[in-house]
Amino acid sequence: MRNRFQKILATLATAATIALPAAGASAQDVIKVGILHSLSGTMAISETTLKDVMLMLIEEQNKKGGLLGKKLEAVVVDPASNWPLFAEKARELLTKDKVAATFGCWTSVSRKSVLPVFEELNGILFYPVQYEGEESSRNIFYTGAAPNQQAIPAVDYLMENEGVERWVLEGTDYVYPRTTNKILEAYLKAKGVKDEDISVNYTPFGHSDWQTRVADIKKFGSAGKKTAVVSTINGDANVPFYKELANQGIKATDIPVVAFSVGEEELAGIDTKPLVGHLAAWNYFQSVDTAENNDFIAKWKAFTKNDKRVTNDPMEAHVIGFNMWVKAVEKAGSTDPDAVIDALIGVSVPNLSGGYSTMMPNHHITKPVLIGEIQEDGQFSVVSQTPGLVVGDEWSDYLDGSKDLIADWRAPLSCGNFNVKTGKCGGQGPVAQ
């Protein structure tokens, strides 16, 4: 009997041990946050840093006491630059890990992949990268730039300050470059640019042999009109592209390149001396001299224990999005998705460039627009900045299928593509190919 009793006690003790979380806190005392960024594959060059900054932000929030009296716990997954895998990992985060919010994606094809999952399961995704617009989902908060917050101001700058008349629209072959260039073509033609003065080209992800294409760009720019390249090349293909520009002696004074997906992180891997003077359009640069940015850079270098680690625009977008989410959860008093989604509209938090960014009813934020010139040290010197903040325009004014659409997720409209002419909320709007 004594042996049986001891076995029963041992069994009960084992069961009790299994039921206790390893951290000594119950599952109800933890709020899980999903991090959905490629840590391998062609996009790892850009996305790994975004995972790291999210870990820093979560650590900082926990030092402040967490959120709603609970500890935040990061759930990191690697969709490995595999677009269908993004959807699979997003579903796991929402159904298995029960995350309260997810911060992730870089390419638009990855965002398009996860969008139906977040809508089906009523999750929340903060998307931190510039994109083509033509979308507004109730479950996605777009903290990166819409075309009117990056692409169009960049073209305006080149026209007004560089006298550019011929345009090379060079992109990676997927939805963001194709749709952005479709908008830019329409915009350029509205400005009087002729068809023969616009060259559009796409290459695959990870493209490495740029010799022929750069030679074509050089030839296109030799027609006697000032020529510029508007680059929507993404990921690690940027490294050989810029190297080939240097190899063929293309300087910024000859054919300036303005990039929408090249920041401090991408430049850290190449010799920038031959690239001095080329441009990038973002809403933030590490070189911005504000108290908020200087504090952020110091915290980042301390967190990474590496004085050489740089900051960039999508990192700032995650800072803004994370702080907005924290504020909305506190405002709602809950992590319930419906309550947080409603609470996010109108939330304002400091950005790192000075001033405050606000979440608008179309689930896009207000942002300054900066044009930066590449320096020898891989940083950017700001050569142009909007005097105020620009409201993200989710539907382009330059596309026939979009110019009559608006998004407003407040009641009673609660619509991502309301047609102001017909007075109706449509389906999903134009589908970009």
Query: How confident is the chain (433 residues) per 10-residue block, as mean pLDDT?
Result: 38 35 57 98 95 98 98 98 98 98 97 98 98 97 97 97 97 95 97 97 96 97 96 91 92 95 86 90 96 97 96 97 98 98 98 94 97 95 94 95 96 95 74 32
The count of structural domains within the chain is 1
| Distance in angstroms (rounded) separating the CA atoms of residues 317 and 163 | 31
Q: Give the domain range for residue 114.
A: 27-146+289-370
| Helices 291-304, 313-332: inter-axial angle, 10-degree rounding | 100
Q: CA 93, CA 34: separation in Å to the nearest integer?
A: 6
Domain assignment of residue 178, yes or no: no
CB 152 within 8 A of CB 169: no
Cα separation, 78 vs 81, in Å, equals 8
pTM of the model: 0.88
Strand partners, 142: 127, 364
Phi, psi of 215 (to 5 degrees): -65, -40
Tell whether 394 is covered by a domain.
no
Nearest to 228 by CA among 218, 236, 237, 238: 218
Sequence-ordered list of residues with C-beta below 8 angstroms from that of 292, at least 6 positions apart, any chain: 350, 351, 352, 354
Q: What is the dihedral of CA 304, 306, 309, 311, to 10 degrees?
A: 50
Whether 349 is covered by a domain: the verdict is: yes
What's the rounded Cα separation, in Å, for the pair 134 and 101? 23
**Residue 37 belongs to domain with CATH number:** 3.40.50.2300
Q: From residue 223, how far is each of 167, 218, 219 by CA, in Å?
A: 12, 10, 8
The verdict on residue 308 lying in a domain is yes
Q: Is residue 2 assigned to a domain?
A: no
Q: Is residue 266 part of a domain?
A: no
Report residue 320: phi and psi, to 5°. -65, -50
- 210 in a structural domain: no
Report which of 210, 200, 206, 252 is spatially closest to residue 231, judged by C-alpha positions: 200
> Has residue 283 been placed in a domain?
no
Residue 22: DSSP 8-state: T
Distance CA 373, CA 370 (A): 10
The answer to whether the beta carbons of residues 318 and 54 sit under 8 Å apart is yes
Q: Token pair 């999952």 is at which residue? A: 117
What are the CA-CA distances from residue 255 to residues 135, 229, 331 (Å)?
33, 7, 50
